[in-house]
Amino acid sequence: MFARDKKKHFWAGLALAIIAGVFLCPILARVPWKFAQLLVALGASGLGLLTAAVGGAVKEIIRDWLLKRGHPEWLDFVATCLGGAIGSLIMILLRVG
């Protein structure tokens, strides 16, 4: 099964996806920027998955690799994205956004 660290990454990705999809998507829908409208076009589930992937990448690249405050691992990034994908699937099944 997953190591304890990978479980944390999974749950963080799941939380990021759901929070971004449910709360960030409606906020961005009101912003008149073209880029914001592009993100809204992804839908709540797409925006949630994108947020989880970017969050996982930023954590691994900036915090762990560049700042040397941890150990960058591909599987941590994959676990975060997997959590984001499950969160996106939950939003699709619940018809959120």
Q: What does the DSSP assignment read for 36-78?
A: HHHHHHTHHHHHHHHHHHHHHHHIIIIIIIIS-SS---HHHHH
Question: Looking at residue 13, what is its pLDDT?
Answer: 97
Q: Is the pLDDT higher at 48 or at 35?
A: 48
What is the pLDDT averaged over residues 74-84? 97
Q: Is the pLDDT higher at 5 or at 2?
A: 5
C-alpha 5/C-alpha 89 separation (Å) is: 23
What is the pLDDT averaged over residues 63-91? 95
Residue 2 pLDDT greater than 80, yes or no: no
The DSSP letter of residue 30 is T
- Hey, what are 40's tokens? 């809204």
Residue 8 pLDDT greater than 80, yes or no: yes
Buried b (16+ CB within 10 A) or exposed e, 55-86: bbeebbeeebeeeeeeeeeeebbebbbbbbbb
Residue 20 pLDDT greater than 60, yes or no: yes
What is the pLDDT averaged over residues 37-50? 89
Please report, as a single letter, which amino acid is at residue 88.
S
Domain limits, the chain = 4-93
